[in-house]
Structure 1
Amino acid sequence: MASSIVTADQEKARVAVLAASASLREGATILAGRYCTSPIKIAKTFSQDRALFVMVMDASPGMLAGDRYELQWEAGTDTHLILTNQGFTKVHPCEPGQFASTHTRYRVGTGACVEAMMQPLMLYRDAVYENRTVVDLAPGAVWMQGEVVCPGRTLRGEAFQFESLDNRLSVYYEDEIIYHQRQLVRPRLQRIAAQGGWGDYSHLSTFYVFSDRVTPSLLEVVRETLEEKEIRELGLYAGASLTYRYGLSVVAASDSAWKLQRFIGCVQKVVTRALLGK
């Protein structure tokens, strides 16, 4: 376990940065610029049609107390980025007063699309994690994110043994905020299994899409997908709704991460087909 005393210099040294920008070259998306510091880096990219798939790698055993990751993604006009990572984001135990954090900012240009489909978040016993995501959208831009939260290593009896999860998302359209959400989970202070809470479920997923292309008809398509046999057989508790402006939110609860990952994949395909024709 990390020491409870971290100096200012040590704290500064434990900030890892990844910054990347995408542009078009001969009709295909490329990385025009990239910068990263250990332990995170871009492991691999590969193209398919106009899109660029980007694989992010964390060359550490997980996030420790005091770790902070700062990620910046900029998608230029008409580009298409599909982002994922190699494995679960693991947050290790933190001593009182300490935490690990990730700050991510997306700038999505006119007509551009960013799909952020990362592997699940795993919160170990006594973990304290803060996640901040900010999205800046231009007209015609599309941003999607799929996220799965695991309550700990359930096979080791760690379900909801983490200390705190503070998860925030802010979305701006032409510099006007159109959505803000905060998820604050403190298992030791909350009745997790209460009605209206997590109930009998242990894992939670969210899928978001924000764009001025989002319409009520997209919501109907997604709700029809929730009723398909492939989804119903997963035994999820799921629902979808429009946000205040230019957004759609899909939330699902389950007893395992893989079911939610499959669920998000199905929703992502439907939304991508409806908005991008792919």
Structure 2
Amino acid sequence: MRREQSSAEAAAIRHEDNGVGEVRTSVLRATFASRLGQTLIGNKYHTAPIKIAKAFPLDGQLGVIVMDVSPGLLSGDRYELEWTAEQHSHVMITNQSYTKVHPSLPNSDSSMQQLFELETDAVVEHMPEPIMLYKEAAFRNDTQVRLQKGSAWLQADVLCPGRTLRGERFDYRSYSNSLTVHYGEELIFSQRQRVVPGSQVITAPGSWDEMTHWATFYMFSDRVNSSHLEQLQEKLDSFEAPEAHKVIGGASMTYRYGVAVSAASTAAWPLQQLMQELWQTARMGLLGKPPLRFLQG
């Protein structure tokens, strides 16, 4: 069990000076445990403005909603989230609204760092709302996943190029995204993406072309096999995109124990719908569980 920080320690890590402005670090840590067939929060710790707003049982698993009581990530903000799922626990994690990234000062940025630690036979489904990059935003997003035998980690995310209704399209300064997955001590997946609209030809063929929004769906477990790839590819092929927003996508097996799906469109909501359907397909195919309905209606 990790030692909890004192209030003095928390204050010390929240305010630092990196030479270009104040850096504010906010922390959220939670451990999930399985007790008598139901997953519960074993312990949790947070510093403002992020916290667990609500947790509720969902037929043997736990649903968790994360709240950010600020307007979003401002220049210099650092969010550090650590999730530990103990043996046989099963949790679904989401948030209340879009992750809004505000403009960054010159030579500064904002960032989010997440660590998912899954013990034997634990399941984590991470289904956050889309990321919204405001004009002049600079954002680093880093996710690390550590799996053990029988555990499973699923994630769907959507990236928006700006507030398109205000005419913002790729007006952000930079976006860096990384995902690393370990199975035991072995690195089984590593992905890095860096978008700098001001110095890249975003609309070039083979780049974003006419697309503006990007989505990914990941599923990692030692239980994953080619049949799960086929199920997700079938869902991609049968997805009915709206006439005004074409959706293109593809799925592939990863080096070990995983399936990755990428999709692009010209709006967030068709991709959100696609991610929802892929998630439902994965839940049934990998976990043998029906869709969760609490996010609908």
TM-score by structure 1 length?
0.95
Percentage identity across paired residues of the two chains: 47
What SS does the corresponding residue of 1:271 show, helix, strand or coil? Answer: helix
Q: Deviations over 1:206-242 (max 9, x none)?
A: 0001111110111111111112253586631011001
**How many angstroms apart in 1 are the aligned matches of 2:232 and 2:246?**
17
Could you list the runs of 4 or more consecutive aligned residues of structure 1 that deviate by over 3 angstroms after TM superposition? 8-12, 229-234
**1:237-256 paired onto structure 2 within 5 Å:** 237-256=248-267
Between the two proteins, the alignment pairs up a number of residues equal to 272
**1:1-40 paired onto structure 2 within 5 Å:** 7=17, 11=22, 14-40=24-50
**How many angstroms apart in 2 are the aligned matches of 1:235 and 1:185?**
22
**How many angstroms apart in 1 are the aligned matches of 2:268 and 2:93?**
19
Q: Deviations over 1:16-73 (max 9, x none)?
A: 0000000011110000000001000000011111110000000000111100000000
1:197 aligns with 2:210: no
Q: Deviations over 1:126-174 (max 9, x none)?
A: 1000011000000111001111000001111110000000000000001
Give the structure 2 partner of residue 265 of structure 1. 276
Give the structure 2 partner of residue 124 of structure 1. 134
Structure 1 pair 231/219, CA: closer, same or farther in 2 (3 Å)? Answer: farther
1:79 aligns with 2:89: yes
Does the aligned pair in 1 maintain the 2:29–2:45 contact within 8 Å? yes
Q: Which ranges in structure 1 are unaligned for 5 or more consecutive residues?
A: 1-5
Give the structure 2 partner of residue 102 of structure 1. 112
**How many angstroms apart in 1 are the aligned matches of 2:179 and 2:242?**
28
**How many angstroms apart in 1 are the aligned matches of 2:239 and 2:160?**
25
Alignment RMSD (CA, Å): 1.5
Q: Deviations over 1:102-143 (max 9, x none)?
A: 110000111111000000000001100001100000011100
**How many angstroms apart in 2 are the aligned matches of 1:139 and 1:263?**
29
Give the structure 2 partner of residue 61 of structure 1. 71
**How many angstroms apart in 1 are the aligned matches of 2:143 and 2:235?**
27
Residue identity opposite 1:46 in structure 2: F
Does the aligned pair in 1 maintain the 2:242–2:270 contact within 8 Å? no
Structure 1 pair 256/175, CA: closer, same or farther in 2 (3 Å)? Answer: same
**How many angstroms apart in 1 are the aligned matches of 2:64 and 2:278?**
20
Does the aligned pair in 2 maintain the 1:226–1:232 contact within 8 Å? no
Shift of 1:7: 2.8
Structure 1 pair 119/174, CA: closer, same or farther in 2 (3 Å)? Answer: same
Does the aligned pair in 1 maintain the 2:241–2:270 contact within 8 Å? no
What SS does the corresponding residue of 2:234 show, helix, strand or coil? Answer: helix
Give the structure 2 partner of residue 186 of structure 1. 196
